Structure 1
Amino acid sequence: MTKHLILLVALSSAAPSWGQEATKFDRSVMSAENFEARIPRPAQDKVAEEKLAALKEKTSKRPNILWLVVDDMGFGDPGCFGGGTLAGASTPNIDRLAAEGLRLTSCYSQQTCTPTRSAILTGRLPIRTGLTRPILAGDKITANPWADEVSLPKLLSDAGYFTLLTGKWHVGEAEGMRPHDVGFDEFYGYYPAQKEISQRVDVRRFPGLVLNPERLAAFEAVGPTDYLTHGFKGGETKELQQIQSTEDMSKADQVLTEFTVEQIKKLAAGDKPFFIEHCFMKVHCDNFAHPEYAGKSEAKYPYKDAVHEVDSHVGDILQTLADAGVLDNTLVFFTSDNGPQMDGWPDAGYTPFRGAKGTTWEGGVRIPGIAYWKGMIAPGRTSDGLFDLMDLFGVGLTLAGVSTDKLPAERYYDFVDQTSFLLAADGQSKREAVYFWWGKELMACRMKEYKVHVKVVMSQAPHMHIDLATVHDVGLAPWFFNLYLDPKEEMTVGHRLDPWMVTVLGKLKAHGATLKKYPPKDIGL
């Protein structure tokens, strides 16, 4: 038995029950057996409650919620996270959002898009829902993972919100798995990622597919739809414009942004609060520059032009909120669904960290996170407190006044309600640890500034973190990093330099043990 496994067997750091004094290192406590432990912050919780109550009295309605989710943007792409002009694409609107809100420097996603997109809507890790990787052409799903899940848009819709998803979905397009089947009142967008659509018409990159009628017909038989789709709760679904060229693909985000802008104008004038998840198609490869944005970035490359375009659309959406008079009653959260897809380089983003999309190194899962709310979130804040994108699920419930009693008791929930972290002027994170999975493999855990790996993804060539990479056990001892000393995860501190390795391993073990009582789903992926 390897040394790190011996340590795991010897130690359990399961959090104490609610009301007991937390250990000095692990501050989290359990509020219920089936919820992730969280750090008690009663003072800041009271501040958040008072701010929300005062706002409701002023506006007589629940606050709006807007998520802006970019596809495959790297941590270092926005200027406010070290990129911008330095990385060849200025991002003035995203930078302004950060300057006037809360910049989260330890914000985490899953390592690929489908797992992240499902996790933020269910508050549950992908290992629990079965959505452990993207659903690709030819996949045979054996069960609908959404059939027994309770999604955030459903809970918010039931609570009186109008719920809309604009843009990329990528969490299933079969009947029963579409956005308007799982809780959204309306869907306007595309089911798959850009490349899965554009490869049908991109003769320069995919001549073996585009110029071979037989193979193209075979792909069309199993591939995802290439239509802009408009769906409504209840099942009504319309296929609108088909993507017939790379220029059509280049204009998709403009079309989607125009739709969101018009919806905000209409919804702001209505009686219902709204929840909008606006998911950009860009900057997932393959990127094709919109004619109006081609060459507008400093770098002039298609990826950089795409970043510049996304930034422009962020500005358009924020200006619409301001013009509609709802900026001070809308929580805006900007982020990416995972790290950059370096396998598409140079059509790929920038991260200062090791690894990229498809890995559980920081480069794959540490992403930009910005929370903005005029008058509610103090401007100019920066925090390195842990924030998992699943925590948006808990924030959404709180803002909508939805009790966790609405959630099935037989399920385990991994989100932490971070509302007070965002709203209190000196708010601190209530999350003690973030857990990282690759498919069905438990890989790593971050706790405070420490990160322990028991399995790692190793690239076998530069930038090849998916198509030419392997998963390895770490060997005699876990790989234990202090991310404040070594954010690139290049040199372990191990037990020779730091006493907390065993404690963080115990946290990881306690997390793994939750899968025994609350077993994962298998949907055939």
Structure 2
Amino acid sequence: MPSSAERRTLPFPTFLSILVLTLLLAAPAWAAENIRGATTGPTTAKGYNHPNQYVHLQPTQIAPNMEPVIPHADQDKEARAKLDALRKKTGKKPNILIVVLDDVGWMDPGFNGGGVAVGNATPNMDKLASEGLVLTSAYSQPSCSPTRATILTGQLPCHHGVLYPPMYGQPGGLDGAVTIAQLLRDQGYVTQGVGKWHMGENDGSLPQNVGFDDFYGFLSVSDMYSEWRDVYFNPEIALSPDRFAAMQKLPFNPNVVHCEKGGCKNVRLIDLNAIKDLDEDWLTYSENFIRKMAKNPKPFFLYHGTRGCHFDNYPSDRYAGKSAARTVYSDCMVEMDDVVGRLVKTLEETGQLENTLVFFTSDNGPEGEVDPYGRTPFRGYKGTTWEGGVRVPTFVYWKGMITPGKSEGLFDLADLFPTALSLAGVSGADIGKLVPKDRYIDGIDQASFLLGDQKLSNRRSVFYWMMAEFAAVRMDEFKLHRVVQITDGINTKGWNGGFSGTVTKTGGVVMYNLYANPQEDASVGIRHLPIESFLEQEMKRYAAVLKKFPPKFDMARR
């Protein structure tokens, strides 16, 4: 090093060069090859790699019409060994039970910090979650119909075309789609749908015409049967005989229906009394189905969609005031906990628990415009692509097959499609062969993620769609927005949820670290451009997919 006198006479750039050279000579050999550190100088810290962080990896393309995956050979082998052993023990393929709650927020159940803390204890959910795998980063679509269609088709809304919930006779539906119910039935499964449908009332979209052997429930959404009847919420219709009569003539079915091959039959009208007992009625139907299947050599696929806790909630006398919060929403959460507990208890009583995967989730985040509603620690509500609108409470329970724990690995509800097929014995590129070549499967087979002890997701990224807008992408802990909804951009008073705000494009580098800032209110895009570039490339990759498999944005034709 030059002396202090020499330093005073050297030009600053020359002095800085000598200083850096001296530090490099003193540092380990690896530091000389790849300098890392801060403005204070290089570092010798080697750092750490963590599981489920893939932004630096290139995924593997397994089929032209399927999303690429992050493979884990050892985990795949472990999962297959578990499935093979169970198949030998039971003599048949595993049953699959999917329970989809309505408008329930990430923090409503106790296993995500809600439960007792927010005035609605959920002991059954919490126990099952503690004995299963809690997915802390599981994603729905911003609203119910797109999510439900995504579960059944394995496609994002841009590909299945159900962009928003069809209301009061609006077009939209599954007509022409290939569903998991249809494909599992081809694999020898008995397929049963119970509860909420809301994926179209046109003939081609009815449950029995898209793969379900039997369906019992309603075809639309809770408020369509109640809100115009309620003299408190909608007196302008409920107290106007002529307007009320006009509502009765709209082209939607206001009944509980029973659908089988050949058509649907109306069971009873849904009014303000009947709506109180719908979830109890549907639960009894699913319990009876589970008991019946105990004597059937075939495996079953049961899709159980609850009415709760979509507004408006009208608790039965059994549940009114049963929650500590005593709100109609929290009372509903207590009932939903009983629903989950009784379904699993029936599996256990009939000897089918060890051969049944139970998947629990919600169709989107909490509704934010009709109080009282659910809770989320994240920004936004149902109808938005902020985390609060699409990150949903999720766990997977399978007695003896899943090692208890939590994972931050990414999971999209589209993954249920290929995962269910994988459990049924069809995996890898063979899944892509079960749909026409012009259909793109956005879901990823996550069987090994759910069953493997390492709990490594096979998904590299999650894409967020807001109707026809390609809104955002998440990779690892980072999320890049291109389009956002400002929920209070129009209204300055009242509740500001996801359907009454403004939709706007971002400046291009609006990016959040969801670990450091789950509220998504402090962008780190400019500071972390190296990471932003990975996310931008991922959005470009999927844009190329959309050129090969064009989006379906015209709901009017459905």
The 1:24/1:313 distance shift into structure 2, 3 A limit, reads closer
Aligned 1:19-98 pairs, distance under 5 A = 25-98=56-129
How big is the shift at 1:498?
5.5
Q: How many angstroms apart in 1 are the aligned matches of 2:441 and 2:55?
A: 25
CA deviation profile, 1:94-144 (whole Å, cap 9, x unmatched): 001100100010000000000000011001111112101001114245xx6
Partner of 1:484 in structure 2? 515
In 2, the alpha carbon distance for the partners of 1:174 and 1:220 equals: 18
Correspondences of 1:193-342 after superposition (within 5 Å): 193-232=221-260, 234-244=261-271, 246-342=272-368
CA deviation digits over 1:9-42, x for unaligned, max 9?
xxxxxxxxxxxxx997034221122211110111
Aligned to 2:34: none
Gaps of 5+ in 1: 1-21
**Secondary structure of 2:57's match?**
coil
Return the offset for 1:509.
Answer: 1.6
Residue 369, structure 1, aligned to residue 394, structure 2: yes
Aligned to 1:9: none
List gaps (5 residues or longer) in structure 2. Answer: 1-52
Kindly indicate whether structure 1 or structure 2 has the higher relative contact order, using CA contacts under 8 Å at least 6 residues apart: 1
On the 8 A contact 1:145/1:523 being kept in 2, the answer is no
Report the counterpart of residue 506 of structure 2 in structure 1.
474
Per-residue Cα deviation, 1:486-516 (whole angstroms, up to 9, x for no partner): 1111111113145200110110121122111
Deviations along 1:340-399, whole A, 9 cap, x unmatched? 0011122x10000000100000000000110000000012x1000000011111111011
SS at match of 1:62: coil
Tell me the CA shift for residue 236 of structure 1.
Answer: 2.9
Quick one: distance in 2 between partners of 1:56 and 1:223? 47
SS in 2 for 1:445: strand
In the aligned structure 1, how far is the partner of 2:146 from the partner of 2:296?
34
Q: Give TM-score scaled by structure 1 length.
A: 0.92
Residues 1:355 and 2:380 are matched in the alignment: yes
Cα RMSD of the aligned pairs, angstroms, is 1.5
Q: Displacement, 1:466?
A: 3.2
- 1:217 deviates by 2.3
Q: CA deviation at 1:146?
A: 2.2
Kindly indicate whether residue 185 of structure 2 is the aligned counterpart of residue 154 of structure 1: no
Q: 1:490-501 maps to which residues of 2 (within 5 A)?
A: 490-497=521-528, 499-501=530-532
What residue number does 2:443 align with?
A: 415
Q: CA 1:345–1:270 in structure 2 vs 1: closer, same or farther (change >3 Å)? A: same
Task: Quote the offset at 1:524 in angstroms.
Answer: 1.5
Moved more, 163-172 or 458-467: 458-467
Matched residue type, 1:239: N
Distance 1:224 1:202 in 2: 18
How far did 1:413 drift? 1.0
Which range moves more in the overlay, 29-38 or 314-323?
Answer: 29-38
Amino acid at match of 1:370: F
Task: Check the 8 A contact 1:72/1:340 in 2, yes or no.
Answer: yes
- Alpha-carbon separation, structure 2, partners of 1:79 and 1:313: 15
**Counterpart position of 2:407:** 383
Counterpart secondary structure, 2:191: strand
| Distance in 2 between residues matched to 1:145 and 1:339, nearest whole Å | 23
Larger Rg: 2
| 1:175 alignment partner, one of 200, 203, 206 | 203
SS at match of 1:65: strand
Counterparts of 1:470 and 1:53, CA distance in 2: 51
Tell me if the contact between 1:197 and 1:225 (Cα under 8 Å) persists in the aligned partners. no
Q: 1:276, 1:349 → 2: CA distance?
A: 26
Alpha-carbon distance, 1:51 to partner: 0.7
Whole-Å separation in 1 of the counterparts to 2:55 and 2:520: 26
* Deviation sequence 1:196-235 (CA, Å, 0-9, x none): 1112422211111122222122222225222110001x22
Partner of 2:17: none
Supply the distance in 2 between the matched residues of 1:49 and 1:77 (Cα, whole angstroms). 34
Q: Distance in 2 between matches of 1:509 and 1:24?
A: 14
Give the whole-Å Cα distance in 1 for the aligned partners of 2:437 and 2:477.
32
On the 8 A contact 2:383/2:499 being kept in 1, the answer is no
Alpha carbons of structure 1 residues 242 and 335: separation in structure 2 relative to 1, 3 Å: same
CA distance in 1, matches of 2:472, 2:86: 40
Runs of 4+ in 1 over 6 A off after TM superposition: none
Contact 1:421 1:428 in 2 (8 A): yes
C-alpha distance in 2, partners of 1:463/1:321?
A: 41
Q: Tell me which amino acid in the other structure corresponds to 2:269.
A: Q
Would the aligned equivalents of 1:102 and 1:372 in 2 still touch at CA under 8 Å? Answer: yes
2:416 aligns with 392
- State the AA in 2 paired with 1:389: L
- Tell me the secondary structure at the aligned position of residue 204 of structure 2: coil
Rounded Cα–Cα distance in structure 2 between residues aligned with 1:278 and 1:24: 35
Instruction: Give the TM-score taking structure 2 as reference length.
Output: 0.87
- Give deviations 1:320-344, integer Å, cap 9, x for gaps: 0000001000000000000000111
Q: What is the percent sequence identity of the aligned residues?
A: 44
**Separation in structure 2 between the aligned mates of residue 186 and residue 136 of structure 1, nearest angstrom:** 24
Which range is displaced more, 444-453 or 477-486?
477-486
Measured in 2, the distance between the counterparts of 1:445 and 1:268 equals 43
**Does the Cα contact within 8 Å between 1:458 and 1:465 map onto a contact in 2?**
no
Aligned equivalents of 1:83 and 1:58: distance in 2?
38
